[in-house]
Structure 1
């Protein structure tokens, strides 16, 4: 039975990512015929057409080519991880680690964790993106990232999720807001005041659902695309908002900003879990395993994220 090598797979993956044999040859510092021969060998071995060739316009992947590309990426990452593991036996963890995180809490949570990780494993090259939940799930599925720090919302059933911190929602108002002297409040009371809504996919639906599940409709007066804008509007008296990221984490990051007051919700509302997601079929590299272990065992070291109620594993709700 004919087989293909990891080198040929790598040539195919790079050509597919760049949609170009010429581009792949330049990136990998090999000849164009070497790239073409590798692709032809894989196509003959699998009896699949992996690319549509466009005269003077490069290549485009066929549906079969896209599926093989995704699996090949995972295989090559596992092979690289195995090599790094073999090299690092008895030595320090090294290599590249690609992470992705949900933007609402990423600047509050990740920098401290990354700092601690780098101090422990200085030979690891870290790369971190911020994306929507859809982008995170796609990136993990395609093998673009090994780990994701995100919420337990819309996580596919076949994807592993380990909850780190349970983050219940609460109301936030400015220091001069009529409700600033309250320690707790009901949702029915809140709907009489203007709301500042984080207009970010997933966050928007989550916070609005807290009201709609009780037949209530908040008076959304302002929509903001970033947590900084939400905090600024709330701090300057434009309305209340709902948060679930610990308020103490915001204060630590940007002291001197307009004062905010947290108010507990009397109504029951689903708490989100901040955790680590990764594809179940992907064997983590030594660097990714070291990061996962650090995050799991690092309770209390990231300022503001020290909730004692920490689930071992969280699954998305219907």
Structure 2
């Protein structure tokens, strides 16, 4: 016999699963606790699955089967919400809420432009965008906090689908008075002997270190920084060189000092920036429209004239 359940039961189940609590789910949904418990019980009886482990006085936790059912239920509810919105507007308007997250190295670079275009076309959509590192991005996608992410193609589990947008090769940044500043291109072997300022973010550090390892050399990491603004300022003031892979629109640090961007001679591993989403979830109409804007932005960045302009900021 096929399982029979309602969207209301699925919604009660998903909220309880997200919060590991019947009590919290009842508060958020403004219903009674017995209503939540009854919906979960009916789902378990209908599907023949044990969805939760009950902990005395400590709430609930999803079973392995429960997690799989949770992802499918979350996806179905998103589709149902999208269908409801479509019916409400007769397909003529994209509206609702859109929650997304981006990796910090390029979120501030691309999001203001894309948001301006998107909000101009779809003013009825409320967009919320966070900045997180890769581990938190993956966690947010899996637990349904974000519909999709703008991030790199690194350390993504099989449960995450990735849509590539831009391939970004690494390049060097140095101060205007650095000993290597007059060069039109640089070898990573030459750079290794000079002081380096490392962007000390988990995935970024691993990536840049891997470039040196691939060449059998060790960098001279003299300073670590926790923000792109700090790296740019330290480089511009001659404290050391650094490696970037995101396009630079300006060669001026926050304190007004300048730096140079110089291509690397070696064919080093690039990073690909794109859209990551939970494989079991479909994008809402608002999400699909935003990805369309991102793809349009990527084509502009990759146009020959703009690509050369961004590559040679001096």
Q: Which TM-score bucket, shorter chain as reference?
A: 0.7 to 0.9
Which residue number corresponds to residue 145 of structure 2?
144
8 A contact 2:17–2:61 mirrored in 1: yes
Q: Deviations over 1:142-166 (max 9, x none)?
A: 4332222112223446644333222
The structural deviation recorded for 1:230 is: 1.2
Higher relative contact order (CA 8 A, sep 6+): 1
Q: Is 1:235 matched with 2:236?
A: yes
In 2, Cα distance between equivalents of 1:159 and 1:18: 22
User: Which residue in 1 is equivalent to 2:42?
Assistant: 41
Cα distance in structure 2, aligned partners of 1:132 and 1:38: 36
Q: Compare 21-30 and 119-128 and name the one that shifted more.
A: 21-30
Residues 52 and 165 of structure 1, relative CA distance in 2, 3 Å threshold? closer
> Residues 110-157 of structure 1: CA distance to partner in whole angstroms, max 9, x if unpaired?
122112111110100111122222333343344332222112223446
Give the Cα separation in 1 of the matches to 2:303 and 2:156: 22
Q: Distance in 2 between matches of 1:60 and 1:296?
A: 39
- Kindly tell me: are residues 277 and 56 of structure 1, through their superposed partners in 2, closer, same or farther at Cα, counting changes over 3 Å? closer
Question: Which deviations, in whole Å up to 9, do the C-alpha atoms of 1:13-40 show, x marking residues without a partner?
Answer: 1112222222211211112211111111
Cα distance, 1:309 vs structure 2: 10
* Residue of structure 1 equivalent to 2:21: 20
TM-score, normalised on structure 2?
0.88
* Aligned-partner Cα distance in 1 for 2:251–2:159: 33
SS of match in other structure, 2:74? helix
**Structure 2: 5+ residue runs without aligned partners?**
307-314
CA contact (8 A) 1:49 1:65 kept: yes
Contact 2:196 2:242 in 1 (8 A): yes
Secondary structure of 2:202's aligned partner: coil
Pair 1:52–1:121, CA change in 2 (3 A):
same
Deviations 1:58-108 (A, max 9, x none): 333333333322222122112212222333334221011121111111111
Moved over 4 A (4+): 156-159
Kindly indicate which of the two structures has a greater share of residues assigned to helix. Answer: 2
Q: For residues 109 and 11 of structure 1, do their structure 2 counterparts lie closer, same or farther at Cα, with a shift above 3 Å needed?
A: same
SS in 2 for 1:184: coil
Point out where structure 1 has 5 or more consecutive residues left out of the alignment.
311-318
1:66 aligns with 2:67: yes
Question: Which residue of structure 2 aligns with residue 262 of structure 1?
Answer: 261
Alpha-carbon shift at residue 225 of structure 1 (Å)? 1.9
Summarize the Cα distance change of 1:110–1:74 in structure 2 as closer, same or farther, 3 Å threshold: same
Does the 8 Å contact 2:74/2:281 carry over to 1?
A: no
Residue 275 of structure 1: aligned partner: 274
**Match for residue 186 of structure 2?**
185
SS in 2 for 1:247: coil
Cα distance, 1:137–1:33 mapped onto 2, change above 3 Å: same
- Asked if 1 retains the 8 angstrom alpha-carbon contact of 2:181 and 2:260, the reply is yes
Matched residue count: 305
CA contact (8 A) 1:84 1:286 kept: no
Q: Which residue number in structure 1 is paired with residue 11 of structure 2?
A: 10
Q: Which residue of 2 aligns with 1:315?
A: none
Aligned-partner Cα distance in 2 for 1:77–1:249: 40
| In the alignment, structure 1 residue 118 sits paired with structure 2 residue 119 | yes
Secondary structure at the counterpart of residue 178 of structure 2:
coil
Where does residue 296 of structure 2 map in the other structure? 297
Tell me the SS of whatever aligns to 1:248: coil
Counterparts in 2 of 1:11 and 1:220: CA distance versus 1, 3 Å: same
